[in-house]
Amino acid sequence: MNEKRIRSAFQEEGIEKEIQCPEAFLISEKYGISKTDISGFCNENGIKIRACQLGCFK
C-alpha cells in the first residue's frame, strides 16, 4: 500500500474522518488505488467507511 498516494488523494478529495462507499469506489478508479488498499488505509487511520454497498469495506 502506498500511504502517501492514498493520503494525497484523500486530501485532494477533502476526506478526513469519514468516507462514503461510493466515494471510495470513485477514488479507487480516479487515482488507480485498489479498494483493498483504501480499506486498509482507512482502518489504520481511523477513517470510517459509511454506506457500504457490497460489504467490500469493513
Domains of the chain, residue spans: 3-50
Q: Give me the average pLDDT of each 10-residue run along the chain (58 residues).
A: 93 95 93 94 92 65
Beta strands in the chain (DSSP E): 18-20, 48-50
Beta carbons within 8 Å of 6's beta carbon, 6+ residues apart: 31, 33, 37, 38, 41
pTM, rounded to two decimals:
0.83
Q: What is the CA radius of gyration of the chain?
A: 10
